[in-house]
Each structure stands twice: as structure tokens, then as C-alpha cells.
């Protein structure tokens, strides 16, 4: 926006500047208002509500007023070994799935920026899972990995044993990782491809002149130059995996034997299925705190990167 | 839980002859003070009022228009304003609309397992003073679902039960004889499981299916027949009781079905009726809603009562379905009571008499008319009618009356699924017990 009028108008600038500044502030507010209102109504208010709700105790249903319970809900949650298991399971899940997705996405992105035939076709194919509603892909994967599904048929045809997949407490979470990655990898790959394409060609040329091999080039040029998009992908992917919900709700319902009960799903189940909305709110607060911790950690990495520059 | 979800649309429109009038009306003439909302009565002359009714049933699609028309004809000064919401949002709609105390709706459809919770939360009118004497009109299992802490809060309008249907061609193919339909000649679960394995060896794709695998409604009879409880004890109905030896025994038998191949592991409740109708299943434990489809499918079928365990002299069958309840903030309670009385009680229930595709009625008189339908004309149909009649009157065990039913059912269903998938039975029940204790802590 252009601002301060100049003295060309012949009016003393000392008198016009404050009004122009006010003008600017006004327009800034007007333009930012929708975003701020949305942020307040859709992010901060529900978070505040969740925090408030988590320190009360109430009967389900709307007629009986809730009573203040302090930190009782939190004490109850952390006193329940099943909940602690759920938190640990959620952390382990994220420690595995995020690096896995980003590593594969990066591998594919590097592959697809090479001069290979039909690169557009491959990119499209890898991106297609993102465009399918997650409900649809969950149903399809559920059928594919069912006891009589095509994957087991294929396994048997190749002489292997049919696998229980979602009905086995040791395989179900891995199944969820596969579905989430099938969708996620193509999506994050697109960000990394654009990041790769933004790396100036002369850097690679210089590396070639210095006789750097492809591996050295990758670690000394590609990775450092890709650091910022990588960090963005890391943050966004982490958040999306912490709140992963649909495949769990549709395919395993948190089972078998709680092996796929992650914190987000548990908060939903506690709130809606079991009708314990205050306990559920406490779970949401805990989940948000864990997520914020990781996101802040990642932003810290981003800042260090800036400072180094 | 909507237990009749697999029920087909019945096309045959049959109007029922109304036989006799119940004497309950005389008892209803006096009103009374009640705890849940202001008192009301069924007056001798009809008031002029509009009664708002909230249901998951649609006027056109679910053949409720004929019921409303018949009521308005019988009670011209009372108008029915019908409101339909999908089943999935019925509970939350009742919660929010009753809570705002505006008195809309006046009458609502109540899922029977939720009645205790609705009553405890003050969302259902206490009907005891006006309707408590109407109990004789109903099958006891259905009637009892309306009570919470000895007060009546809802009137049942339909019911359900389970019986074993068999595919006689598949049985013959495996060299099995058709089981008897006589009540005194009940199979044992052990025998049924063994026969199911034989049937699969004889060519049946599946030996035995339960209409609702892994669901409490279906499996409740197993521990009860072993001598266990329904899973809940305590005066307040908030003490879990499903880790006993009886429960472990019953569910160990359930698990063995899948280990021996008597029953399929991966099949969902939504697939079971279809599989039986397609001729893939030798025996299925299912509800009366399967009958019209059987007639259409052209199967050679027979029925036998639901079994009990070897050596057990207890027989238990699932029961329950829908009731109607009154909003305690209703401004037209007398008119609402007239409607509920007409719908559930008069002449076996107007809901049954005037709906062209009624479900199994909850009243004794309604059942008489129901069994006159063409559905029950064949010899196998006659057998089914006799079994349904007997079980609903004698062996039905209602789901427990607890304000925490929803959590109870949801947690147990997960445990059943884990057991079916091979989890250690005692451990799975212990885990469920711990989870339910946490989920019920909010009621303390």
C-alpha cells in the first residue's frame, strides 16, 4: 500500500501524516478482520472452551449444570495406564510415520525432478491419492486388506500365508501407517518438488566442476538448499499425523485390543461415544500441548537456520 | 443401538382388525404429581392442541402417515405435527431440544437402552401415575424397558427377538436333519456349533452366523444362560459385572466358533442377512425382520428356537426396540398422553394397527394381529410365529437399565470384537472392565 502523501500537495506534512497513518491502520484492520475473526472464532475460542471444559465435571446431556473439578480430569487421565499407553503409542506412531513419509516423499521428489520420460504422468499418479476423499481411500484399503481381500489373495497366489492385517493387534497400526502414507507421500512430495526446482542450477554446475559425485551433491547442495521447504513439510506433516482420525475410526475403531487407539481418536471416543465431554476436553488440551511442543521445537530449528545465515 | 437396521421394507399393506378395548383407560383418568415434570392426566374430553412428535421415522418413507391420519380421525381436536431426524442425530436432537425447555417436541421416539439416561437427566416425563397400570397389555420384557429406579418413563411401541433360521438344502447336503421347531426341543449351543462345522464340510460356505456379530444385543443371552448377570449390577446400575467365570466361559465358547471354523471371522453385521438369503449360510441367529425377505428369496428354510448351553436350565433371548417418551417441558401433556396411549396401548397400539409394515409389536394384542399376516401362513412361518410368541413372553432378557448404557455397550462391543479376533478372553473382559470404570467415573 502506498502511504504518506508528499509535500507536493502543498499541505504541511506534519498535519497529514497522523491522519494518513490512521487511515492505514484502519484499512489494515479492515483487511485483516476476516482472518482475525476466523482465527478467534475457529481456533482460539474452541481452544479456550476446551481448556475451560477440561476443569469441570458434568453429567452428559444439557440439563444439569457442570461443577468445577479443578485438575481432577487430568489426574484421572494420567492415573489411567491405558491413557498413558495411548500417549506413548501416539508419540511412537509419530516418531515413525513422519520421518518415513518425508524420507519417501523426498526420495520420490528427487527422482521426479530428474530428466525421466513421462515425469508428468508419474507425478500425477503419485498425487492422485491426495485427491481421493480419505473416507473413500479408507474404505478401499479396508477392502483390499480384508481377510478375503485382493492382497491376501495375491499373497496366497505367490505361496505366502494370508495375513490378518487390521484384525491383528501387531499389524493394524502398520496398516494405518500404510494408508496415511499412501495419501501423505504424494502430497508432501509436491512441496518438495517445487523446493527442488527453486534451487539454482548453477550450484549443481559448480558442484560438477568441483567433481562432486551425486551423493555428495545431494548432501552438500540439495539438502541444505531444501532446508526451509523440508522444515515446513515436517511441521505440517507432524500436525496432520497427530490429528489423524478417519482411517482409524472407519477401519479399526481403535482396536484390535487398542492397538490403533491414538490420542485424537481417543479424545473423540471419550467425548462422543462415552459421553465424557469434560474428560475428552482434557485429552484435547493434552494433545494440543504435545503438538505445540513439537511444532515449537521445529520452529526453533527453523530459527537457528535463519540465524546461521 | 438401532437393532432393526437390517429390517426390510414390508410392502404388503394389511389393516388389522381391532379387537377389544383395554381397560387401562379407566385407570388413566386420574392424574398425579410426578417427579419428572408437572403432572398430567388423560381427560375424558379431548383438549384442542397441536402435539409435536419427533421421530427417526419418516411419514412417507416409513409409512407413518397412515398412523397419524388414523389418530387425527379418532381425535379430531388434536393435530399431530410430525418431525423427522435421521437416526444418527436423534439422540443429540432430543438432548438439545428438550434441554432448551421450550416444550418442543411434546413426544419423542426413545431408543430403549437410552431410556435410563434420558430419565436420569430429567429429559423424560415420569409417566408412572397415569400409565403404570397398563403393564398387562405388554410383553413383560418390553414393558420393563420403560422403567428407571421403579418409575415409568416410556411406553414400548415395538419389540424384537431372535430365533435360529436354517437353510434346509444345505443341511440335507451335509447329511444333517432339520432341527425341531418345538420350544421343548431346544438345541444346545454346543450342538449347533458342531452341526455348523459339519455343514461347512458338506459344502455350505458358512456354518453359523449371528445377525449382529460382536454386539451386546445379540450376545447378552450367552453369559446369562451360563448363569452370569447381564453385565451390570448395583442399585444404581453402575457397577460393571462381566469378568465372572460365567462370562469368561460364555465368551470362550463364542471365540471357539471362529477357531473351529463354525462361524466366519471377517463378516460384519451388515453382511449377515444378505449372506443367508444368498444361500451361503447353514444356520443364522436373526430376528423376525428376516421373514419377509425369506419368502422373497425362495429359500427352503426352517426355524428352531435360540439354543441354550449344555446343562443349563436358563434360556435367555434378546429383546427390545423402540419406545415413546414425553418431554417434561411439554405444554400439551394431556394431549400428548392421549396420543401416546392411542399409539402404544389402545387396541394393541395404533402404531401397529395402522402402519402398513409394522415390526414385532410390544403388546400381547398387537402380536395376535401381527401373527395373522401372510408372512406366517407357511408351515415354517407358523413355527416362527410360535417361537416368537413364546420367546417374547417368556425368555426375553432386557438390556440392563443403566444411565451409562451407551458406554457399556460400546466398550463391550469392542471387547467382543477383540475376543472374536483371538484375544485372551479373561484379559479382554478385564480391560473392558477398566475402561468402563473410567468412562463411568463421571456419574459418581
For A57-81, how does the pLDDT look when each residue is reduced to its tens digit (9 = 90+)?
A: 887 766 778 889 999 999 999 999 9
Task: State the average pLDDT for chain B.
Answer: 88
* Mean pLDDT, range B102-116, rounded to an integer: 94
The closest CB to that of B407, out of A254, A255, A274, belongs to A274
**Cα gap A306→B144, rounded to integer Å:** 71
pLDDT at residue B266 greater than cutoff 60: yes
pLDDT at residue B196 greater than cutoff 90: yes
Please say whether the beta carbons of B309 and B253 come within 8 A.
yes
Please say whether the beta carbons of B341 and B25 come within 8 A.
yes
pLDDT at residue B94 greater than cutoff 80: yes
pLDDT at residue B13 greater than cutoff 80: no
Distance from CA of B415 to the nearest CA of A (A): 8
Largest distance between two CA atoms of chain B: 67
> Which triple of cell numbers denotes residue B81?
405435527
* 8 Å CB contact of A147 and B265: yes
Residues of A with CB under 8 A from a CB of B: 57-64, 76, 80, 82, 146-148, 164, 167-169, 253-258, 269-270, 273-276, 278-279
Res A305: pLDDT: 60
Which residue in chain A is spatially nearest to B118 when comparing CA positions? A61
Res B267: pLDDT: 86
Residues of chain B contacting A248 with CB distance shorter than 8 Å = none
Please say whether the beta carbons of A180 and A246 come within 8 A.
no
Res A123: pLDDT: 85
pLDDT at residue B36 greater than cutoff 90: no
The closest CB to that of A146, out of B266, B417, B421, belongs to B266
Res A192: pLDDT: 95
Res A17: pLDDT: 66
pLDDT at residue A236 greater than cutoff 70: yes
Angle of helix A81-112 relative to helix A119-131, nearest 10 degrees, comes to 160
Residues of chain B with pLDDT > 70, as a percent, come to 91
Higher pLDDT, A116 or B231: B231
Res B30: pLDDT: 35
- B183: nearest Cα among B396, B398, B384, B397: B384
Helices in B75-158 by DSSP H: which ranges? Answer: 87-99, 115-120, 128-131, 140-144
Which of the four pLDDT bands, split at 50, 70 and 90, describes residue B234? confident
- Judged by a CB distance cut-off of 8 A, whether residue B89 touches chain A is no
Which residue in chain B is spatially nearest to A274 when comparing CA positions? B407
| Collapsed DSSP state (helix, strand, coil) of residue B78 | strand
Q: What does the radius of gyration of chain B's CA atoms come to, in whole angstroms? A: 22
Res B11: pLDDT: 35
- Judged by a CB distance cut-off of 8 A, whether residue B374 touches chain A is no
Question: Kindly report the CA angle at A122 between A118 and A126, in degrees rounded to 5?
Answer: 170
> Which triple of cell numbers denotes residue B274?
444378505
Would you say the ipTM is above 0.90?
Answer: no
* Mean pLDDT, range B273-292, rounded to an integer: 94
pLDDT at residue B35 greater than cutoff 50: no
* 8 Å CB contact of B414 and A82: no
* 8 Å CB contact of B442 and A148: no
- Judged by a CB distance cut-off of 8 A, whether residue B92 touches chain A is no
pLDDT at residue A14 greater than cutoff 60: no
Res B20: pLDDT: 35
How many C-beta neighbours within 10 Å does residue A161 have? 8
* Mean pLDDT, range A261-285, rounded to an integer: 91
Res B374: pLDDT: 83
pLDDT tens-digit series, residues A280-300:
999 999 999 999 999 898 888
pLDDT at residue A16 greater than cutoff 80: no
Which residue in chain A is spatially nearest to B1 when comparing CA positions? A273
Amino acid at each position: 500500500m502506498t502511504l504518506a502523501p508528499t509535500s507536493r500537495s502543498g499541505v504541511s506534512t506534519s498535519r497529514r501524516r497522523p491522519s494518513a497513518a490512521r487511515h492505514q491502520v484502519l484499512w489494515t484492520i479492515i483487511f485483516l478482520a476476516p482472518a482475525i475473526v476466523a482465527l478467534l472464532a475457529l481456533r482460539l475460542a474452541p481452544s479456550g472452551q476446551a481448556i475451560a471444559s477440561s476443569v469441570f465435571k458434568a453429567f452428559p446431556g444439557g440439563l444439569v449444570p457442570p461443577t468445577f473439578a479443578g485438575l481432577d480430569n487430568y489426574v484421572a487421565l494420567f492415573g489411567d495406564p491405558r491413557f498413558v499407553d495411548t500417549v506413548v503409542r501416539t508419540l511412537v506412531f509419530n516418531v515413525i510415520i513422519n520421518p518415513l513419509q518425508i524420507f519417501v516423499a523426498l526420495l520420490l521428489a528427487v527422482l521426479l525432478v530428474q530428466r525421466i520420460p513421462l515425469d508428468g504422468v508419474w507425478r500425477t499418479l503419485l498425487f492422485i491419492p491426495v485427491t481421493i476423499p480419505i473416507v473413500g481411500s479408507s474404505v478401499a484399503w479396508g477392502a483390499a486388506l480384508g481377510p478375503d481381500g485382493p492382497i491376501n489373495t495375491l499373497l496366497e497366489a505367490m505361496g505366502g500365508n494370508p495375513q490378518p492385517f487390521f484384525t491383528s493387534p501387531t499389524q493394524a497400526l502398520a496398516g494405518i501407517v500404510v494408508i496415511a502414507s499412501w495419501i501423505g507421500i504424494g502430497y508432501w512430495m509436491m512441496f518438495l518438488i517445487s523446493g527442488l526446482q527453486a534451487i539454482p542450477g548453477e550450484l549443481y554446475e559448480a558442484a560438477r566442476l568441483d567433481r562432486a559425485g551425486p551423493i555428495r551433491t545431494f548432501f552438500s547442495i540439495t539438502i541444505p538448499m531444501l532446508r526451509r521447504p523440508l522444515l515446513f513439510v515436517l511441521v505440517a506433516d507432524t500436525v496432520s499425523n497427530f490429528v489423524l482420525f478417519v482411517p482409524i475410526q472407519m477401519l479399526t475403531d481403535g482396536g484390535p485390543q487398542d492397538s490403533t487407539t491414538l490420542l485424537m481418536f481417543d479424545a473423540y471416543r471419550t467425548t462422543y461415544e462415552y459421553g465424557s465431554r469434560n474428560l475428552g476436553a482434557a485429552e484435547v488440551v493434552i494433545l494440543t500441548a504435545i503438538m505445540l511442543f513439537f511444532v515449537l521445537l521445529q520452529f526453533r530449528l527453523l530459527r537457528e537456520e535463519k540465524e546461521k545465515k | 443401538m438401532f437393532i432393526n437396521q437390517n429390517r426390510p421394507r414390508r410392502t404388503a399393506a394389511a389393516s388389522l382388525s381391532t379387537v377389544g378395548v383395554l381397560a387401562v383407560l379407566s385407570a388413566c383418568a386420574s392424574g398425579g404429581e410426578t417427579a419428572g415434570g408437572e403432572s398430567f392426566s388423560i381427560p375424558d374430553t379431548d383438549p384442542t392442541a397441536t402435539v409435536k412428535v419427533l421421530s427417526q421415522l419418516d411419514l412417507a418413507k416409513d409409512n407413518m402417515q397412515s398412523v397419524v391420519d388414523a389418530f387425527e380421525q379418532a381425535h379430531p381436536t388434536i393435530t399431530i405435527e410430525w418431525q423427522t431426524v435421521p437416526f444418527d442425530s436423534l439422540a443429540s436432537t432430543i438432548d438439545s431440544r428438550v434441554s432448551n425447555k421450550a416444550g418442543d417436541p411434546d413426544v419423542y421416539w426413545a431408543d430403549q437402552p437410552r431410556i435410563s439416561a434420558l430419565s436420569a437427566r430429567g429429559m423424560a416425563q415420569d409417566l408412572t401415575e397415569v400409565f403404570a397400570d397398563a403393564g398387562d397389555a405388554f410383553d413383560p420384557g418390553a414393558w420393563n424397558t420403560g422403567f428407571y429406579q421403579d418409575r415409568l418413563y416410556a411406553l414400548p411401541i415395538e419389540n424384537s427377538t431372535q430365533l435360529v433360521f436354517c437353510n434346509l438344502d444345505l443341511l440335507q447336503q451335509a447329511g444333517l436333519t432339520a432341527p425341531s421347531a418345538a420350544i421343548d426341543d431346544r438345541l444346545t449351543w454346543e450342538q449347533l456349533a458342531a452341526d455348523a462345522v459339519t455343514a461347512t464340510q458338506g459344502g455350505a460356505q458358512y456354518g453359523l452366523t449371528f445377525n449382529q456379530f460382536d454386539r451386546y444385543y445379540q450376545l447378552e443371552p450367552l453369559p446369562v444362560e451360563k448363569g452370569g448377570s447381564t453385565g451390570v449390577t448395583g442399585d444404581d446400575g453402575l457397577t460393571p459385572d462381566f469378568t465372572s467365570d460365567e462370562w469368561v466361559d460364555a465368551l470362550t465358547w463364542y471365540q471357539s466358533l471362529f477357531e473351529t471354523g463354525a462361524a466366519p471371522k471377517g463378516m460384519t453385521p451388515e453382511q449377515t442377512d444378505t449372506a443367508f438369503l444368498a444361500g451361503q449360510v447353514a444356520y443364522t441367529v436373526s430376528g423376525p425382520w428376516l421373514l419377509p425377505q425369506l419368502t422373497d428369496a425362495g429359500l427352503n428354510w426352517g426355524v428352531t428356537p435360540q439354543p441354550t448351553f449344555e446343562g443349563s436350565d436358563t434360556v435367555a433371548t434378546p429383546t427390545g426396540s423402540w419406545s415413546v417418551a414425553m418431554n417434561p417441558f411439554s405444554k400439551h401433556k394431556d394431549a400428548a398422553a392421549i396420543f401416546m396411549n392411542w399409539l402404544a396401548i389402545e387396541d394393541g397400539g395404533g402404531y401397529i394397527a395402522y402402519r402398513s409394515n409394522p415390526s414385532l409389536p410390544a403388546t400381547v394384542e398387537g402380536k395376535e394381529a401381527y401373527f395373522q399376516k401372510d408372512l406366517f401362513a407357511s408351515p415354517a412361518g407358523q413355527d416362527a410365529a410360535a417361537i416368537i410368541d413364546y420367546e417374547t413372553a417368556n425368555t426375553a432378557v432386557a438390556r440392563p437399565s443403566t444411565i451409562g448404557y451407551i458406554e457399556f455397550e460400546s466398550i463391550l462391543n469392542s471387547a467382543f470384537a477383540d475376543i472374536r479376533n483371538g484375544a485372551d478372553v479373561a484379559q479382554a473382559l478385564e480391560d473392558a472392565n477398566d475402561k468402563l470404570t473410567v468412562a463411568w467415573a463421571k456419574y459418581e
